[in-house]
Chain A
């Protein structure tokens, strides 16, 4: 593997390997000096056509803790505003000599297009509604860490709630959790479901209350207010009443159930403020683990060529 564009690129074996590798980087992150020389001399560029300070910082911290050099390209300060084309932009960055490019774009598929133009490893940091593979990996890692078992996934019941249709987090998490053997249920009004779920290894519900009691992990997606303008639901109030994780609903979860959210949260819409700070809420841990998991991804792409093939071949 030279790039990580979609969860599918890893497969179940690759996902497990990243999770195991992330254990080592969690240890590194907890040290007084959280840095290893593994990627010394390598250059990692973050090229974000869509702003996301938290994701960019997470990747840059990961790269720096691996001793890689980092370059930051963000659209607000760049020549994209002067009409430079996507291709010219990424080829210019690549021409400076980079080993990996971390790409985020509001249009689905851009990392695939970029990978046809430049030689560096490409990591998809979110493309439109499509994929956000490192988010799914850090979510799986966080569940595994919280449950304290090496492989808690077979049969694990995961409910992903909210705007599935427009969510790259949902698509990547469906792929990752189901590859690891979890049973995924999508919960949303029909207008927020993808038009077709042909080939998706999921169950579907339009009733959050009906699935609450039988769920080990509730994953809440961010609701964007502008969706109301597209006649997808009448109001945030009505959405929250039917699909929000209220205090009352949280009380009906089984005691060991975990609550997750990719952030940033709309408190009071998809999740009540007090629910986000419950002990079984993993939201802060997701952010913390993001760095270690992204270190694992970077190390696996840049530091260990063909490692996975060798491990698979001789396992």
Chain B
């Protein structure tokens, strides 16, 4: 692998900000600094006017393989991730078959070996994600799985969730919950409230999420288990997680770019690309989620990248599957929403914490991702131009699906290069393979 030289950028990591070139050899950062020079045969990448940061880590990606390769494959999803600045993705287990055994874990890891991002795997908590019997957590943990979730559904049975948390304790793993009370959410298409009433659509109340957040905080307190809350979407959830953290419980939480940017009113034109679970909520909820992220109650921004085929998203709204693609827009959306414009909510360093080093720690990927950019560290890097303006075009995306809610929107901030294990997999916004 040729030497890489990232020239003229501003390095930003958990240790701070500095102007520095970065030299990468054989997958590792070998030298950083203002005065260093590229080797004679180095490939020089322009990082001027850009930020060089650790590669992004997504806690929540649906790669759809095995089972729904029409919508996405490990390969296409990783390419989308690399274009979005990601160097590691955690693949969700709601595939067909689901990732509930060592065999499927091995299959997905194998598929991800040659791809443009590092692909980690989340295992299911229960067999078949059916919420009835525990999946072989230890067997999967031995293969390196660090996150377990039945995402797509919450574990409805309180006793089963308690047992899972207890059983997980000695394994050093984290359980991640999709908080949704199935009975209160049954049949829903969107958030219950002003807009669902007007549009004549069945809604799910915020309480469908909040009841399970409340229960799981109680179970985390009871068991001492480690719990991660997926895609928090309501003001009540954010408040409860904040209180739990203040009590010292081992809980973490994520929010998605779409819940930071969009509200339920987006459904007014009945476009299924705005149907997602948990649903887009009210302006008040959106503000609370943004505030929660700024305050650190919410640790990470995770995409919940959920590709669906055009055919699926052209069904009537109540039949179309929920979900949005997000890998190629997450950094730009979050940056546009939180760091630019008048009165930004957070600094770029705080934003990158939520996109790189904090999710890397939650996913157990921090030895390779999200660490400081200094000699001797693996070179998983993202070069990001915070002033570039561009318009989202779903047709131009690398994901196999087109269900972006941000089509046509103007963004501020764009990924320029992505370096995965020392290889420039994205240069000037173009995937290299």
| Contact A198/B194 with A85-B311, A85-B315, A107-B319 known, Cβ cut-off 8 Å | yes
**Interfacial residues of chain B within 72-130, with CB under 8 A of chain A in the complex:** none
**Interfacial residues of chain B within 305-323, with CB under 8 A of chain A in the complex:** 311, 314-319
Residues of B within 8 A of A195 (CB): 192-193, 196-197, 203, 205
- Tally A residues with Cβ within 8 Å of B: 24
- Interface status of A196 (Cβ within 8 A of chain B): yes
The answer to whether B314 and A113 touch across the interface, beta carbons within 8 angstroms, is yes
Q: B6 to nearest A CB, angstroms? A: 44
- Interface status of A118 (Cβ within 8 A of chain B): no
Residues of A within 8 A of B193 (CB): 195-196, 198
Rounded to whole angstroms, the CA-CA distance of A108 and B198 in the bound complex is 11
| Contact A199/B198 with A109-B270, A112-B270 known, Cβ cut-off 8 Å | yes
Rounded to whole angstroms, the CA-CA distance of A112 and B196 in the bound complex is 16
Q: What's the count of A-B pairs with C-beta under 8 Å?
A: 69
- Interface status of B199 (Cβ within 8 A of chain A): yes
Rounded to whole angstroms, the CA-CA distance of A86 and B198 in the bound complex is 24
**Interfacial residues of chain B within 181-198, with CB under 8 A of chain A in the complex:** 192-194, 196-198
Q: Which listed residue, B194, B197, B314, B316, touches A107 by the CB 8 Å rule?
A: B316
The answer to whether B194 and A110 touch across the interface, beta carbons within 8 angstroms, is no
The answer to whether B311 and A107 touch across the interface, beta carbons within 8 angstroms, is no
The answer to whether A107 and B205 touch across the interface, beta carbons within 8 angstroms, is no
| Contact A107/B199 with A113-B270, A198-B194 known, Cβ cut-off 8 Å | no
The SS class assigned to the B binding surface is: loop
- Tally B residues with Cβ within 8 Å of A: 22
| Contact A131/B197 with A85-B314, A105-B316, A107-B317 known, Cβ cut-off 8 Å | no
Rounded to whole angstroms, the CA-CA distance of A214 and B199 in the bound complex is 30
- Interface status of A194 (Cβ within 8 A of chain B): yes
Residues of B within 8 A of A225 (CB): none
- Interface status of B343 (Cβ within 8 A of chain A): no
User: Per-residue 0/1 for B260-302: is the Cβ within 8 Å of any A Cβ (1 yes, 0 no)?
Assistant: 0000000001111000000000000000000000000000000
Residues of A within 8 A of B311 (CB): 85
**Interfacial residues of chain B within 173-224, with CB under 8 A of chain A in the complex:** 192-194, 196-201, 203, 205
B residues neighboring A (CB under 8 Å): 192-194, 196-201, 203, 205, 269-272, 311, 314-319
Q: Which 6 A-B residue pairs are closest in the complex by CB-CB distance?
A: A109-B270, A130-B200, A107-B316, A194-B197, A129-B200, A198-B194
A-B contact pairs, 5 of them (CB 8 A): A108-B270, A110-B270, A128-B201, A129-B200, A196-B197
